[in-house]
């Protein structure tokens, strides 16, 4: 496969990851843990595909950067530039979506922890010794 084909495949994988990440947002809001786990498993396979494609692009480029490769490419320069821009835009959108999902998860976790704290009874143990030590409180001080 050529560099352009690899970049297009990489763009497709990242676009699918962005779509999954947007789905994950609504799933997090709905608090659907089972569906969230399914999405995470699908994302993991896409991430491994992405890593393989990135490695193959790096092998095709050898020691060159993508930008220098694009500058040297004559006939495919426009296509490579367009694909690179789309890939960068998709990766940036994916990053923003993941940050939003991270904030949603963090807020959800904070809410759950707060709810657990409110529902958990305090650890007060009442024993005969504890009640004997405490003096009964009255409304009036009898020593006065």
State the Cα angle at 39 between 38 and 44, rounded to 5°. Answer: 100
In a domain, 24, yes or no: yes
pLDDT of residue 15: 97
Q: What is the mean pLDDT of residues 100-122?
A: 84
Asked whether residue 138 is domain-assigned, the answer is no
Domain contains 66: yes
The answer to the question of residue 29 being in a domain is: yes
- Answer yes or no: is 126 within a domain: no
CB-based contact 83:11 (threshold 8 Å): yes
Residue 130 belongs to a domain: no
Q: What's the Rg (C-alpha) of the chain? A: 29
Write the CA distances from 88 to 73, 110, 131, integer angstroms: 19, 33, 69
| Long-range CB contacts (within 8 A, 24+) of 30-33 | 31/108
- Which residue pairs, CB below 8 angstroms and at least 24 apart, start in 88-91? 90/11, 90/14, 90/15, 90/18, 91/14
Do the Cβ atoms of 83 and 53 come closer than 8 Å?
no
Place of tokens 């799933």: 27
Residue 134, in any domain of the structure: no
- Give start and end residues of each alpha helix (H) in the chain: 3-30, 33-61, 66-72, 77-119, 128-133
pLDDT in tens, 8-43: 999 999 999 999 999 999 999 898 999 999 999 999
Residue 65's CATH number: 1.20.58.300
141: pLDDT strictly greater than 60: no
Q: Which domain holds residue 80?
A: 3-120
In a domain, 142, yes or no: no
Q: Is the pLDDT of residue 93 over 60?
A: yes
Q: Domain total for the chain?
A: 1
């Amino acid at each position: 496969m050529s560099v352009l084909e690899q970049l297009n495949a990489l763009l497709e994988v990242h676009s699918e990851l962005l779509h999954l990440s947007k789905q994950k947002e609504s799933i997090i809001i709905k608090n659907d843990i089972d569906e969230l786990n399914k999405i995470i498993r699908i994302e993991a396979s896409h991430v491994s595909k992405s890593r393989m494609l990135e490695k193959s692009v790096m092998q095709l480029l050898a020691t060159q950067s993508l930008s220098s490769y694009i500058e040297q490419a004559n006939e495919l320069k426009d296509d490579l530039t367009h694909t690179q821009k789309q890939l960068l835009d998709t990766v940036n959108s994916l990053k923003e979506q993941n940050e939003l999902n991270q904030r949603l998860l963090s807020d959800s976790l904070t809410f759950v922890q707060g709810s657990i704290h409110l529902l958990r009874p305090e650890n007060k143990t009442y024993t005969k010794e504890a009640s004997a030590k405490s003096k009964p409180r009255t409304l009036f001080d009898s020593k006065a």
